Structure 1
């Protein structure tokens, strides 16, 4: 059985930098955000379902999902967010499972900003939180995404509070320094995960 590690963190915490490092070690990465884009790509049945539910305005001129318009809509209407999730989450979960099972590496990492919120942690054997102070998150997100302060605050508000994530995580990586500090912590975890994966595949005595 494949040993699956969940990797999460709030906006601006450094999830992508961390998952990129694991990928460089030869570990297969299944990214929930990437999967969420794949299942609603142009021509996918799920896109037609979203259009049918919300209206033609959710499709842009290129025949693709108008993410910005939909994001603004669900930010202003919590019930619309629940409706969208009811349509998309089962398909996202099924595709994540498919990709996890097909992964060919000593262990596999499921990267998801909403790992705990969506119950995706139920698919994993171990969970690591890439952690940073809320102030650092705001600073990095504004530099990286050129998003407004209000947009960043809305995203932070929709994610599980930092303290709750810490309680759910098996491993916590504090990303409050330079890259070498981050990589040092990841290297230690990588060795542990290799051991866990090896133990998980050994037949019982």
Structure 2
């Protein structure tokens, strides 16, 4: 069985940067955000179900899902988030299982923003948390998404708290350090994961 590392972290913690670093070292990165975009492409059954649930106001002028508008809806309404997850998660999980099964690299890094909250940690062998403090997350969200401070705080509140996330971690990457330090830590973890992957095949 392929070794699967669950990569998670709070919103705007730097998961994408870390995932790219693992990819460059030879890991097979499976990003559920990318798959989530695939399952709601124009013309897909997934997009039709989302529009049925939330209305055409979650579409942009081209008929593509407006992820920012949808994100604001679900962060403001926990019931809306549950409805969205019921539509998307089965479709995403089917593709995740296929890509893990097809992987020919030493191990898979499965990137799931809500790994612990959504129960996706059952699919992984180890949990790697990218960690920053909440003030950094709020500042990054305001820059990245044009969010207000209140919207950024609401986004954080929709996720599990930092302490709970860290308590579930097998490995932690502190993303408050320099880029060089972060990449050195990724290289160390890569060697550890290669060793664990070899142990599974011996």
TM-score (norm 2): 0.92
Structure 2 equivalent of residue 100 of structure 1: 100
Structure 2 equivalent of residue 5 of structure 1: 5
Deviation by residue 1:27-55 (Cα, 9 ceiling, x = unmatched)? 11101111111111111111112223333
Cα RMSD of the aligned pairs, angstroms, is: 1.6
Matches within 5 A, 1:48-67: 48-67=48-67
Structure-2 separation of matches of 1:58 and 1:16: 25
Deviation by residue 1:113-152 (Cα, 9 ceiling, x = unmatched)? 1111111111111111111111222233333433221221
Structure-2 separation of matches of 1:147 and 1:73: 13
Matches within 5 A, 1:19-168: 19-168=19-168
State whether structure 2 residue 10 is matched by structure 1 residue 18.
no
Structure 2 equivalent of residue 192 of structure 1: 192
Structure-1 separation of matches of 2:147 and 2:100: 32
Q: 1:38 to 1:172 in 2, by over 3 A?
A: same
Structure 1 equivalent of residue 174 of structure 2: 174
Structure-1 separation of matches of 2:49 and 2:134: 36
Structure-2 separation of matches of 1:156 and 1:66: 20
Is the deviation greater in 181-190 or in 50-59?
A: 50-59
Structure-1 separation of matches of 2:180 and 2:196: 24
Is the deviation greater in 75-84 or in 17-26?
A: 75-84
TM-score (norm 1): 0.91
Q: Which runs of 5+ in 2 are unaligned?
A: none
Q: 1:71 to 1:144 in 2, by over 3 A?
A: closer
Q: Which runs of 5+ in 1 are unaligned?
A: none
- Secondary structure at 1:128 match in 2: strand
Is the deviation greater in 93-102 or in 134-143?
A: 134-143
Q: 1:197 to 1:69 in 2, by over 3 A?
A: same
Say how many residue pairs are matched.
202
